[in-house]
Amino acid sequence: MKNKSNEKAGDVSRRGFMKTSAVGVAAALAGKNVIFAGPAKKKMRVALLGCGGRGNGALQNCMDAGKHIGLELEVVATADWFKNKAESTGQRYNVPTSRCFGGADGYKKLLETNVDLVVMATSPNFRPVHFEAAIKAGKHVFMEKPVAVDPPGGRRVIEAGELAKREGLGVVAGTQRRHQRSYRRNAHAVKNGAIGDIRGGCVWWCGGALWYKTKSPNESDADYMVRNWVSFTEMSGDHIVEQHVHNLDVANWFIGHPPIRAVGYGGRARRKTGNQFDFFSVQYDYADDLHIHSMCRQINGTYGRVSEHLIGSDGSVWGGGSMDAGKNVSTPDFPEHGGPYVQEHVDLLNSILADEPLNEARNVAESTLTAIMGRMSAYTGQLIKWSDITENKDSKWYNFTLKPTAEDFEKGPVEAPPDDVPAVPGRA
């Protein structure tokens, strides 16, 4: 479905944006950090869906990226579950209140405006619905990670990503390590044999607890869950999905594919609200005797580590850090302007300008599903196969859906799961 409103003179369209600048196209296709100026300069309309801290940060990153490449960006609409938050962000960018939307259907109203690129940063449970709607409306998308909380949601993102490819739409996700110079250099070196065949490794996201909210008197369950989304598995996927997805994404990226099965455990001891675990320990099997151990924890006053370590037949590498390489591999000097959070937007915008849009939907969906697979194993005490959540429709895990769903929020009042009642695997 094409967004015909994007075809006006002087504004961005999906096709032919850079036909006036063959030099700009060639440079972008070569992977250069191009600054577009002169006759090729255009204007792109941007909207923000999800006006919390990360959403406002991502929007500012996008605006900084536009300045860097000489592209004029105009914020034309905002939306959030809470309308006052949408209006607060809108004020900072001179967006009329008539284009600051609230409520469960705010995303639909936002997509009806004359917008080219949507920045998505709502809680992850809404992502599959919002992403699919944006692609069907013909919009380019930057979406924060993770992109789902259950297997059907992950598959839905993959399907919408394939539609985006057919429609020539750009999709970049908030897995910023894939745009970070140090990680890209190491990924290039590993791919070209610097440490030989990867034989195993560990990935970690161990840190302190995040914020939490207690329920206010007379507050609806829907408002409570949205305000306190980092405490509910139904909203965030649990922290193995919402946070640790970064490190699992690095493992998938460096190895070249997702794992075939997972078995793990976890528990809850410190949390005050919601139903999530405090820690997870998961063994991921990538086939061919390659195993990656995953550990994540959110408990104050404990040892912290956020990194990845992969061991190869001829050396080892620390994610975006040091490498003990058995083979000397020449690596390009990958661009990075303003840090990886800005660079990911630079890469998206440059790819749209060059008429070769990036599409990271499958990568981020598979990494999200990797984390979901680990969480499901820890919650149930069962071994979960990749095929169970992606291919085998007869598996009880294939259609396993967390409720309330995003659609439930649109239909009317929802009921929040009880606080402090986590999953308990096995039996006494």
For residue 173, what are the β-bridge partners? 143
Do residues 151 and 263 both lie within one domain?
no
- 169: alpha, beta or left? (left if phi > 0; alpha if psi -120 to 50): beta
418 domain residue, yes or no: no
Boundaries of domain holding 124: 4-178+340-358
- pLDDT of res. 224: 98
Mean of the pLDDT values across residues 398-422?
97
Clarify whether residues 370 and 228 are in a common domain: yes
- Residue 188, in any domain of the structure: no
Cβ atoms of residues 59 and 52 within 8 Å: no
Residue 335 domain-assigned? no
Instruction: Check whether residue 287 and residue 302 sit in a common domain.
Output: yes
Share of the chain above pLDDT 90, in %: 90
Provide the residue count of the chain: 428
Please name the residue that has the structure tokens 């993102």: 157
CA 422, CA 371: separation in Å to the nearest integer?
Answer: 18
pLDDT tens track for 340-399: 999 999 999 999 999 999 999 999 999 999 999 999 999 999 999 999 999 999 999 999
53 is a domain residue: yes
Q: Are residue 98 and residue 33 in the same domain, yes or no? A: yes
Only one residue has tokens 């409103």, namely 5
* pLDDT digits 0-9 by tens, 132-151: 999 999 999 999 999 999 99
**Same structural domain, 251 and 126:** no
pLDDT for position 42: 80
Residue whose structure tokens are 């965030």: 236
Say which residue, 32 or 336, is predicted with more confidence: 336
CA atoms lying within 13 Å on the CB side of residue 143: 35
Question: Looking at residues 198-214, what average pLDDT do you find?
Answer: 97
Domain-located, residue 400: yes
On whether both 238 and 100 belong to a single domain, the answer is no
CATH number at residue 407: 3.30.360.10
Strand boundaries in 268-406, DSSP class E: 279-285, 291-298, 305-312, 315-318, 323-324, 384-385
The reply to whether 155 and 19 lie within a common domain is yes
How confident is the model over 163-173, as pLDDT tens digits? Answer: 999 999 999 99
Residue 424 falls inside a structural domain: no
pLDDT at 36 over 50: no
Shared-domain flag, residues 168 and 246: no
pLDDT, position 33: 42
Query: What integer is the mean pLDDT of 300-304?
Result: 96
Question: What is the value of pTM for the model shown?
Answer: 0.92
CATH number at residue 155: 3.40.50.720
As for how many domains the chain has, the answer is 2
As a whole number of angstroms, the distance between CA 37 and CA 215 comes to 51
What are the angstrom distances between the C-alpha of 290 and each of 90, 196, 201, 287, 323? 49, 13, 8, 6, 19
pLDDT at site 155: 98
Same domain as 318, residue 274: yes
Query: Which stretches does DSSP call E strand in 187-339?
Result: 198-207, 261-267, 279-285, 291-298, 305-312, 315-318, 323-324
Other C-beta atoms closer than 10 Å to the C-beta of 306 total 15
pLDDT exceeds cutoff 70 at 62: yes
Q: Is residue 219 part of a domain?
A: yes
Q: What is the tens place of the pLDDT at every residue in 79-133? A: 999 999 999 999 999 999 999 999 999 999 999 999 999 999 999 999 999 999 9
Q: How far is the first Cα of the chain from the last one, in angstroms, to the nearest whole number? A: 54
Backbone phi, then psi, for 14, in 5-degree steps?
-70, -30
Tell me whether residue 416 is in a domain. Answer: no
Please tell me whether residues 132 and 234 are part of one structural domain.
no
The answer to whether residue 177 scores a pLDDT higher than 90 is: yes
